[in-house]
Amino acid sequence: MRLSQTTRLYVGIWLTVAIFMGVLLGFAEYRRNSLNDPDQAWQRTGVLLPAQTYPAPTAGVEPRPGHRVIMFFARSLTDRYLFHDLADQSDLVRAVDLIVVTPDGSRPVIENGIRRFALDTDGSLARAVGLHRPIDGGPPVGYVLVDSHGYIRFRTLDPGFGHRAWEIKLLLRGIS
């Protein structure tokens, strides 16, 4: 089947416009959130780090031996919830120990199930777990998954982690 000259022209124009608009939309989305990682290759990769490679720090967070841990990093939780849907928080509490880290010591409205709160005023804990500084240069917002052997298996800046518990649960399936 051979396409006519006019059809090929229209398809070419449509593809050019679609690609151009997609690039513009991608750039707008990237610039929209100043809490994103400056290197997009490291943001929400979905790839677990190799086992027994990156030991998690214990100072300041004191994880329970033999338990998986999620460390959530937020700028402030004053008058806010950790998760958009509170059922997500309770699901995660059953699977892991939750540790919430903020630079201002704030706590979420509902604290049920959160094992520990940690203060990170100078960013040393965020650096120790390997979280990058976001585009705006402030404290990171994201999370770190630690396996039951005390090794970091996933870390990412994710300003929308409160809406993506499904993604965290999926990653936890690959961690012992």
Q: In the prediction, which pLDDT does 157 show?
A: 93
Q: In the prediction, which pLDDT does 171 show?
A: 93
First to last CA, the chain: 54
SS3 71: strand
Q: In the prediction, which pLDDT does 149 show?
A: 93
Q: In the prediction, which pLDDT does 111 show?
A: 87
Alpha helices in the chain (DSSP H): 5-32, 86-95, 124-128, 165-172
Q: In the prediction, which pLDDT does 103 show?
A: 95
CA dist 54 and 82 (Å) reads: 26
Q: In the prediction, which pLDDT does 140 show?
A: 95
Low-confidence residues of the chain: pLDDT under 70 = 1, 29-32, 86
Q: In the prediction, which pLDDT does 133 show?
A: 92
Please provide residue 114's backbone torsions phi and psi, each rounded to the nearest 5 degrees. -75, 120
- DSSP letters of 24-62? HHHHHHHHH-TTS-SSGGGSS---PPPTTSSBPP-TTT-
What are the boundaries of each domain within the chain?
40-172
Q: In the prediction, which pLDDT does 31 show?
A: 62
Q: In the prediction, which pLDDT does 95 show?
A: 87
Q: In the prediction, which pLDDT does 16 show?
A: 94
Q: In the prediction, which pLDDT does 121 show?
A: 94
Q: In the prediction, which pLDDT does 130 show?
A: 93
Q: Which CATH architecture has domain 40-172?
A: 3-Layer(aba) Sandwich (3.40)
